[in-house]
Structure 1
């Protein structure tokens, strides 16, 4: 006598599939770095001598994570044509995650984010701002993604909101020095990340009628812009760290080194690694945020 293997009911299987595809569509690597920004903001507040509000940080982190996931899912919903033209393998572009289902999850996550933020003093408006930036980035009539300047502005605000949300969730504020450095890291997102991201998406962006630097002025101009921005921001971070002290230097050194890496990838591109500059940007912000948090914890 054989026993049939236990299987989950069809509804449970479908739910698991939707959750798995939504997580993939919202880009876990990006979600983690947004969470890191939130944690850095909380660490900044604690390093300033404020008491650590553990429940506030946990609830606040979940609220902001839901908001950012909603923003990236919405982007996937609105970017189907461009993503398919660029050969994207994300679930919505592949057809594995139906647009209608993804849109429903966007509404659900947005509601959860706002609901949770109500319980964290000062975070509600930051979560609401993040949701608005996600909407403005992807949805007409603004559709900030269509131009590099507006795209950069929205991601800068989204990044800055994550740092501030971490601080208010911890029950404090970010001191002047770390606040300036967090601002540099937010600018890094807009002036380096938003530009290098487009380098591998020129075909789809042109097909979608976007007016990015890479589409309007060419790939070479976009690479030069990203390289110059990386040098300026990396140098500014290093000067700020040298002026302020070891805690900020722990984040400034990885930022400066990463800026050099971005320059190399931009000015001496590898034809087989179109996303090389963007990967250099991404690894750099991981290292800089980790270094800043570690420096503040040790120094505090």
Structure 2
């Protein structure tokens, strides 16, 4: 699922800078493969570094469940990182974006930065990865970005960093506490994290609507879709229930998927 949503971001980035009949399919394919390798590398690195917390939280991720060994993951991380960089080396702009994805992925998971340990640094890392992914898509497409491209990249990256990052913590409190993290949910409690998530979700959706009205009106429909997802996330955060700690994060992910589909439709049709 992680790879699917990252490729959706890449695809939206490419559609936002679509050059029409001058599109190089090979160039887009290379960019997509490089982005896939960078994302997979970062995901596996996170799985290795989060192993104790994931086991404490009952995660079904490959490493935590025992489906993949740490040694095999380490080999895969090296191969995927090298492949991502080699695939991007022929295009300086793409290489910069791929390098950014790898850097933010490392900064999030691994020492000495370990941005995952605090909510604010986690959010910044996630936003950075998002921006680089949309940028990689646009660079691979090779056209001039449409007016709403950077609005989409900024808003949907903020959706990741200001909504998804906090919503994810709601279901990971026991493991995060055991791992010594200082996230908002650990330091201030679940209620504080829910409140922040409930406020940030509609705020991001409102920013999208206002930006679309000013810079790219056809995107107002996609902004309405995100607003629906934001309302769902906010409602779930304000109405917690036992056994439903991960519900806001699932709503965040669902909102992310359908909004990307709506944005892609706008970019294709207008």
- Give the TM-score of the pair, scaled to structure 2: 0.96
Shift of 1:46: 1.2
> 1:1-300 maps to which residues of 2 (within 5 A)?
29-46=1-18, 51-299=22-270
SS at match of 1:258: helix
8 Å CA contact retained: 1:86, 1:201: yes
8 Å CA contact retained: 2:151, 2:212: no
CA distance in 2, matches of 1:50, 1:283: 33
Shift of 1:174: 2.2
CA distance in 2, matches of 1:122, 1:56: 12
CA distance in 1, matches of 2:221, 2:18: 17
Name structure 1 gaps, 5 residues minimum. 1-28
Name structure 2 gaps, 5 residues minimum. none
Shift of 1:289: 1.2
CA distance in 2, matches of 1:243, 1:173: 19
CA distance in 2, matches of 1:247, 1:41: 16
Deviates more, 1:244-253 or 1:67-76: 244-253
Shift of 1:118: 1.4
CA distance in 2, matches of 1:204, 1:50: 50
Shift of 1:245: 4.6
**Kindly tell me: are residues 50 and 214 of structure 1, through their superposed partners in 2, closer, same or farther at Cα, counting changes over 3 Å?**
farther
Pair member with larger Rg: 1
CA distance in 2, matches of 1:42, 1:89: 32
- Give the TM-score of the pair, scaled to structure 1: 0.87
